[in-house]
Amino acid sequence: MAREQISREQAVAPYFVGVDLGGTNIKIGVVDDCGQTLAQTAVPTNETLGAEAAMQRSHAAILKLLAELQLTIDDVAAVGLGSPGSMDISKGLILEPPNMPTWRYFPIRDCLGKLCGKPVGFANDANAAAYGEYWVGSGRQFKSLVMFTLGTGVGGGIIVDGVSLDGSHSFGSELGHIIVDSRPDARLCVWGGGQGQLEAYCSAPAVAARTADLLATGRESSLTSRIAQAEELSSLMVFEEAERGDDLSREVILETARLLGVGIVTVVHTVDPEAIILGGAMNFGGHATATGKMFLDRIRAEFQERAYHVVRDTITIDYATLGGDAGYVGAAGIGRLLYQRTNS
């Protein structure tokens, strides 16, 4: 579901371009000074062709998108780029992105900057998404927020007074790596590390893996017949069967919520934001489904039970509203921050 787009007449100059680099696609949007989207597109990442080719493809798509709006690159004040980690934000480098070996240590920010002839704000992809929600999404009425992105991994973004908590090694806000189970036999992340860390329980593959473990104990579930038909067990399948009332699927989702609630308590006691925003593809349908509501209710209940009373009743916990657009919108916003800083 694409974000509502505004016409050029409705837009407030200056314009910004946001680029959200993902493992499969690169999402690109033209965003106005109020965070409204004028146009968006996506190009394949084609990671095997290398980072420079991907930036050239992105640049071409930007020019095409602008032309469709009867704009040129001269109408753009700045560009923003959100990238998966690890990265060196101050140097503009992508360091060791998972599954993208040919991209290592590539000066991606300056490459895109040279192609566009524009200053480029650079951020971690989850921090960019958090900034998007903070700027114009479900966090727009708050001065500070923490966002969890639940998907292939668990990412995080922390915005305090409009500033992203990037950390001193560009590793701030990596909330998938907070520890929720300190036992020696705690789960490992699907990539084999991160024992007991949030990502080992609350990513989409982790939800599937935990479900498989429960099924392996011989428990009944409507998942079993689907798997028997050679369907691959996934968090989406767990969601679908939970919607149909499957107890085991619901139990997995409730335990996911409990552990996410634990992580949220820890982050709240560290950062004390005004809001917690839940983004990413794995939201079990969000507010639109019974399972999505159950998931959020269980997270809120765990938070209520464990949070210190000063913060218990004042912090909003809710789903994100920008969906898959948060990344490029937030990246554009990071570009805008850079523009404002250098032009004030």
The only residue of 40, 152, 173, 283 in contact with its own copies, by rule CB under 8 A: 173
The only residue of 73, 227, 271, 301 in contact with its own copies, by rule CB under 8 A: 271
Q: Which is nearer to its own copies, 59 or 187 (CB)?
A: 187
- The strand pair at 120-124 and 93-94 is best described as unpaired
Torsion of CA 182, 180, 94, 102, to 10 degrees: 70
- Does the footprint of its own copies cover residue 344 (CB under 8 A)? no
Strand partners of residue 17: 30, 79
CB of 201 to its own copies, least distance (A): 10
Q: Interface mask (CB under 8 A) for its own copies, residues 151-170, using x and -?
A: -----x-x-x----xxxxxx
The only residue of 274, 289, 293, 301 in contact with its own copies, by rule CB under 8 A: 274
- Does the footprint of its own copies cover residue 179 (CB under 8 A)? yes
Cβ atoms 3, 325 nearer than 8 A: yes
Residue whose structure tokens are 């974000």: 3
The only residue of 236, 266, 289, 301 in contact with its own copies, by rule CB under 8 A: 266
Which of the stretches 130-138, 226-234, 276-284, 304-312 binds its own copies when contact is defined by CB under 8 A? 304-312
- Does the footprint of its own copies cover residue 318 (CB under 8 A)? no
Which of the stretches 3-11, 53-61, 228-236, 307-315 binds its own copies when contact is defined by CB under 8 A? 307-315
Which of the stretches 107-115, 172-180, 218-226, 288-296 binds its own copies when contact is defined by CB under 8 A? 172-180
Q: Which is nearer to its own copies, 21 or 180 (CB)?
A: 180
Cβ of 99: how many Cβ atoms within 10 Å? 10
Residue whose structure tokens are 């464990």: 306
Query: For the chain, how many residues are written?
Result: 344
Indicate the DSSP class of residue 266.
Answer: H
Q: Which is nearer to its own copies, 251 or 274 (CB)?
A: 274
Return d(Cα 196, Cα 185) in angstroms, integer. Answer: 8
Cβ atoms 145, 159 nearer than 8 A: yes
CA nearest neighbour of 260 among 175, 161, 341, 173? 175
Which residues, in sequence order, are CB contacts of 310 under 8 Å at separation 6+? none
The site that binds its own copies (CB under 8 A) totals a number of residues, namely 49
Q: Which is nearer to its own copies, 56 or 171 (CB)?
A: 171
CB of 68 to its own copies, least distance (A): 39
Question: Which amino acid is present at 233?
Answer: L
Which residues, in sequence order, are CB contacts of 329 under 8 Å at separation 6+? 3, 18, 29, 31, 35, 37, 132, 135, 136, 137, 322
Encode 182-218: b = buried (16+ Cβ within 10 Å), e = exposed: eeeeebebbeeebbbbbbbbbbbbbbbbbbeebbeee
Q: Which is nearer to its own copies, 56 or 266 (CB)?
A: 266
Q: Interface mask (CB under 8 A) for its own copies, residues 15-54, using x and -?
A: ----------------------------------------
Q: Which is nearer to its own copies, 82 or 196 (CB)?
A: 196
For 141, the 3-state DSSP assignment is: coil
- Does the footprint of its own copies cover residue 252 (CB under 8 A)? no
Judged by CB under 8 A, the chain residues 66 through 95 that form the site for its own copies are: 85-86, 95
Cβ of 1: how many Cβ atoms within 10 Å? 6
Residues near its own copies, by CB under 8 A: 85-86, 95, 143-144, 156, 158, 160, 165-175, 177-183, 194-197, 258-259, 262, 265-274, 306, 308, 310-311, 314-315
